[in-house]
Amino acid sequence: MLEKPEVRSEHNPFTNAQNQLDEAASYLKLDPAIHQLLRWPLRELHITMPVKMDNGTTRIFHGFRVQYNDACGPCKGGIRFHPDETIDTVRALAAWMTWKTAVMNLPLGGGKGGVICNPKKMSAGELERLSRAYIRQAGSFVGPEKDVPAPDVYTNPQIMAWMADEYSILQGRNVFGIMTGKPVALGGSAGRNDATARGGIFCVREAARVNGIELHGAAAAIQGYGNSGSYAHKLAAEILGMKIVAVSDSKGTVFKPDGFLYEDLMAHKKRTGSVTGFPGAEQISDEALFELDVTVIFPAALEGVINRNNAPHIKAKIIAELANGPATPEADLILRNNGSYVIPDLLCNAGGVTVSYFEMVQNSYVYYWDEEKIHHRLEKKMTAAFHQVHRTAGQHDVHNRMAAYIVAIERVAEAMRLRGWV
């Protein structure tokens, strides 16, 4: 059975990424050579992997690794296991990782990887064999000083551990620094599990401060209840005092006006496999979540969920993008005109790559920080990046995503000029 790669023709995320770059380039009056170089990945790898399945058959999987730009340092970016993965999605995500590391002022570039598969229909043994097969094919393309992968959609610390082990076998020595997001026992960092959500929560706090919005007791909705979405629930309540009134996952959306307790909802999801069917909650449509009268919406799933069709109906004061590319360019303009304050993905979900960078640093000198130090350093980096983007938006009179692009592209372009690439 073949898992064939396909190309999306509608809402192509890489086209969106290029359009966003083009718009930023016009604001910056970017050198044409720099502009053209930044529109495309420097390198990309397409791989085909035979994997033995539990029933004795061999299935052929397809995967990718894209190294978009490494002017500022080694590429950094996750590996996704998803049935709808495409090369254009991976290209877009690698581009956004380039801008994300630059927005955070990290000495890294941007990369991304993906495998076309449905991990929900695979056993642990099949996932391990697939993970190892990916590294056997891509191992020469990555490395601690070239390109360091991490978990992403439907991958996790265990998958990173298998990949790091396979890479170490190929090298004949322990090279745990090849991956970040690993288990702590194999050189992972404290504070990594909730880093994406925690960074986003720090951004929401700062956005509320600059806009005079009261968060304590205010309502929020979370679209996507995976790792970042569920931790956003926990931390929004703990740090910001918010109540989460609506939550969705791949099986549906539930609404409870007086709010869900994190512990109760997580226990229900672990028991049933979904947030749907939570006692006392109303089942609503996925589309209705975005139209709720809440203070904050956390898009925490896949790209393109906020678009020109639903953006006019969004009432939330703050959109905190924990997912990559959840809003289309058309939606950005509509949201700004309607007064919603968007914290773009390049900034809002950059807590993950920031703590991944901390993990790289700790791996390099084999000394590890405690969780308190990780949280403090993450807060400092996120707060500084937020205010840089907020100031840039005001200086150029643009929406926040464009401001983030301007900050990032200026930094990458300067590195390219200094290196003599253009």
Active site residues: 112
Nearest to 76 by CA among 62, 66, 86, 85: 66
Helix (H, G, I), strand (E, B) or coil at 391: helix
3-state secondary structure of 403: helix
CB atoms within 10 A of CB 401: 27
SS3 297: strand
Dihedrals phi, psi of 189, to nearest 5 degrees: -100, 140
Closest CA to 246 of 231, 256, 232, 233: 256
The 3 state secondary structure assigned to 143-198 is ECCCEEEEECCCCCHHHHHHHHHHHHHHHCCCCHHHCCCCCHHHCCCCCCCCHHHH
What whole-number distance in Å separates Cα of residue 374 and Cα of residue 191? 6
Q: Which amino acid, 76?
A: K
Give the DSSP per-residue string, 248-262: EETTEEEEEEEEE-H
Cα–Cα distance, 327 to 305 (Å, whole number): 6
Q: 407: helix, coil or strand? A: helix
* DSSP string across 345-360: HHHHTTHHHHHHHHHH
The CA-based angle 133-357-188, given to 5 degrees, is 60
φ and ψ of 340, to 5 deg: -80, 140
Residue 105: helix, strand or coil by DSSP?
coil
Rounded to whole angstroms, the maximal C-alpha distance in the chain is 62
Query: What number of other Cβ atoms are within 10 A of residue 42's Cβ?
Result: 19
Whole-number Å distance between alpha carbons of 224 and 232: 10
